[in-house]
Amino acid sequence: MKFSALQMNTRSEKTANLEQARSIAAQAMADDAPDMLVLPEVFAFMGGSITEKRAAAEELPAPGEVGGPAYEMLRGIASDHGVFVHGGSFVERAGDEYFNTTIAFDRGGAELARYRKIHLFDVSTPDGREYRESAAFGAGREIVTYAAGDITVGCSICYDLRFAELYCALAERGANVIMVPAAFTLQTGKDHWEVLLRARAIETQTFVVAAAQTGIYREENDERASWGHSMIVDPWGHVLAQAREGIGYATARIELSYLEMVRQRIPVADHRVL
């Protein structure tokens, strides 16, 4: 099964962001014909004020109903191209609450899963910038996996990457591929992004597919930068593919037979006692 991790430079103009996503998805399909497309975190809207983020939010539809523009774009990409889509994340409105939420679709555009980001990014980065994700969003509570053909996919988003216990829990639930749509900051990404992705792949003995934001965006009056470097990592910790600087994608084929070989050689799951 072949995966393409899309790399975007999302900003605070939703219509333009959705068009960018469609364009990159179409290019990846034309060039590499993947079985699954993986979008980055907050692909539909990034930056702006809390008010603007929430104004760009969408309520998720009940079965059989029509969703908002980002939801329907993802569903359309899946059905138009006959491809699985792991929809990175966009802002979900649920009554008076807001969440950073992943939606996944099958090849016919049927919804497979919903995941709300559990760990929210409330930190000060080395350059002194403050990030307070909890000011805009609530935290999810559920660990989510879903089936995409013969693959069991585990869901995570960005800052979740720093919490190994979530990834171990996903592996225990049968995940053999774990998704990490992200908008890692330039300051943290240059030192931690690849190290953490490879560590999570090695310790869970899963493939890790990380679709990232790249480049400059504005958060209210502050100019900020995302690290990019979307990549796909195998269960031995090798980087199979990595996107170049700028908008684009990274594609790699995932072989479950290789995953089983790694797990047989070092049976970590059998040895775990805690």
Which of 14, 53, 92, 117 is flagged as catalytic? Answer: 117
Q: Is 93 helix (H, G, I), strand (E, B) or coil?
A: strand
Which of 14, 41, 53, 58 is flagged as catalytic? Answer: 41
Q: Could you confirm whether 158 is annotated as catalytic?
A: yes
Handedness of CA 187, 188, 189, 195 (dihedral sign): positive
Which of 14, 58, 111, 158 is flagged as catalytic? Answer: 158
Dist CA 233 CA 230 (whole Å): 10
208, β-bridge pairs = 178, 233
Q: Is 77 helix (H, G, I), strand (E, B) or coil?
A: helix
Dist CA 214 CA 9 (whole Å): 5
Helix (H), strand (E) counts: the chain: 7, 17
Nearest to 148 by CA among 197, 83, 81, 89: 83
CA distances from 92 to 19, 44, 138, 174, 177 (A): 19, 11, 10, 27, 24
Beta strand 2-7 with 36-38 is parallel
Q: Could you confirm whether 117 is annotated as catalytic?
A: yes
> Which residues are designated catalytic?
41, 117, 158
